[in-house]
């Protein structure tokens, strides 16, 4: 329900999914937007200690209002992208 989402408090505005090769682009283009009060979850920076990588991803996605995909050729051929698709 859309009203429930409005009331729910999220830790992050968006969880950013990107290929490892695009990490520099994300840091240069997306991270500066956090100065404008956007809060992004980046797995490299915000992973949860003691969780497996997959558990951390799932938990952080649940804590995020939206999921933002940085779609590039690198993402489409990234092994983690294939694994993510399988888990959907």
Average pLDDT of each block of 10 consecutive residues along the chain (88 residues)? 65 94 94 92 91 92 95 86 58
Burial 3-16 (b: 16+ CB within 10 A, else e): eeeeeeeeebbbbb
Q: What is the DSSP letter of 47?
A: P
CATH number of 2-87: 3.40.50.10140
Of 82, 84, 70, 75, which is closest to residue 14 (Cα–Cα)?
A: 70
Q: What is the pLDDT of residue 35?
A: 92
Q: What is the pLDDT of residue 6?
A: 58
Rounded to whole angstroms, the Cα distance separating 24 from 3 reads: 36
Q: What is the pLDDT of residue 2?
A: 57
CB within 8 A of 20, min separation 6: which ones?
74, 78, 80
pTM, rounded to two decimals = 0.77
Q: What is the pLDDT of residue 27?
A: 94
């Amino acid at each position: 329900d859309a009203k429930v989402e409005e009331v729910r408090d999220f830790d992050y505005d968006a969880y950013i999914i990107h290929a490892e090769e695009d990490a520099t682009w994300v840091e240069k283009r997306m991270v500066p937007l956090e100065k404008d009060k956007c809060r992004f979850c980046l797995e490299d920076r915000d992973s949860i200690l003691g969780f497996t990588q997959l558990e951390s991803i799932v938990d952080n996605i649940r804590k995020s209002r939206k999921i933002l995909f940085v779609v590039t050729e690198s993402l489409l051929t990234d092994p983690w992208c294939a694994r993510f698709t399988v888990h959907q």
